[in-house]
């Protein structure tokens, strides 16, 4: 099949590209950076250099594709950009995708959405995924879409490193012994590859998770990996977490979205639909990721 992969060579798109090319598919990877081209080609794929803001480029690249894997690939640095409204930026990318899909007559789409996309409010920054799914659902009925809804990524735990180093603590506005699901990008990539090769029909939703862990279990596992066996997860108020994020330079509106998202994790409202459609858990467990975490911590 001819498959278009967005997201350049990110944490999901790179292993996805490698797997699809290894299975004999014709893969084109969209990247903003021409410097990525040699690495893309080394994986057995073609490179299409352009941006998600350029609808003409997207429409031309999508033409003739059997499947497009679409994601809103905004770099985490935008969280600290006070000129960017994260949710509005994702809405604009979704509108660009929708127009490009219509113009290129793409019929099969796999879209990287998220846990919380079923909620129109109360999910904080994840509301962007609700909005994007709504926009893509406006496509004609003959366009099949598979919405992939992974849970929190393991690599988001890298954001714990500053407070572990400065205060010896993981600090969030929820915590304790209540388990929540986490996922490895490798399990996301393998699930997407699986869905690309399965038949498409209408609109489908699939949740993706690797392991269910409590905050206290996470602190124990990461602590053991970095040599701090007394590492604790401290729960603070929404106000204190927000203040800490803003003081660290995060866009205040974005920071507020993260605080609200975490509150929804703490009271489990974020996971209500997940547990109604609970997936088979993936292969990559936290102890494997903890090795990467330790390497980054000690770097």
pTM attached to this predicted model:
0.95
How many CB atoms lie under 10 A from the CB of residue 182? Answer: 23
4: pLDDT strictly greater than 80:
yes
76-96 pLDDT tens trace: 788 899 999 999 999 999 999
Q: How far apart are CA 230 and CA 129, in angstroms?
A: 37
Mean pLDDT of the chain: 96
pLDDT at residue number 73: 75
Residue ranges per structural domain of the chain: 2-154+182-209
Superfamily covering domain 2-154+182-209 = NAD(P)-binding Rossmann-like Domain (3.40.50.720)
């Amino acid at each position: 099949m001819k498959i278009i992969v967005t997201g350049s060579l990110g944490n999901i798109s790179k292993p996805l590209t490698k797997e699809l090319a290894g299975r004999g598919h014709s893969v084109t990877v969209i990247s903003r950076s021409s410097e990525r081209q040699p690495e893309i080609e080394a994986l057995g794929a073609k490179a299409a250099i352009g941006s998600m803001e350029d609808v003409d480029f997207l429409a031309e690249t999508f033409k003739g594709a059997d499947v497009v894997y679409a994601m809103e690939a905004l770099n985490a640095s935008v969280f600290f950009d006070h000129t960017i409204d994260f949710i509005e930026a994702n809405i604009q990318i979704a509108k660009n995708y929708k127009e490009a899909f219509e113009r290129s007559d793409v019929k099969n789409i796999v879209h990287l959405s998220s846990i919380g996309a079923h909620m129109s409010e109360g999910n904080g920054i994840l509301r962007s995924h609700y909005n994007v799914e709504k926009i893509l659902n406006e496509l004609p009925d003959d366009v099949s879409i598979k919405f992939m809804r992974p849970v929190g990524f393991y690599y988001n735990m890298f954001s714990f490193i500053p407070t572990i180093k400065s205060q010896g603590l993981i600090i969030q506005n929820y915590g304790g012994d209540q388990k929540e699901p986490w996922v490895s990008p490798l399990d996301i990539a393998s699930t997407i590859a699986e869905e690309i090769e399965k038949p498409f029909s209408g609109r489908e939703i699939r949740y993706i998770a690797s392991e269910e862990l409590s905050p206290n279990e996470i602190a124990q596992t990461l602590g053991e990996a970095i040599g701090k066996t007394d590492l604790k997860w401290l729960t603070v108020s929404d106000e204190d977490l927000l203040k800490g994020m803003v003081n660290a330079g995060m866009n205040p509106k974005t920071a507020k979205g993260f605080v609200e998202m975490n509150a929804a994790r703490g009271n489990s409202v974020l996971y209500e639909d997940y547990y109604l459609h609970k997936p088979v858990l993936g292969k990559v467990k936290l102890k494997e990721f903890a090795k990467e975490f330790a390497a980054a911590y000690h770097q």
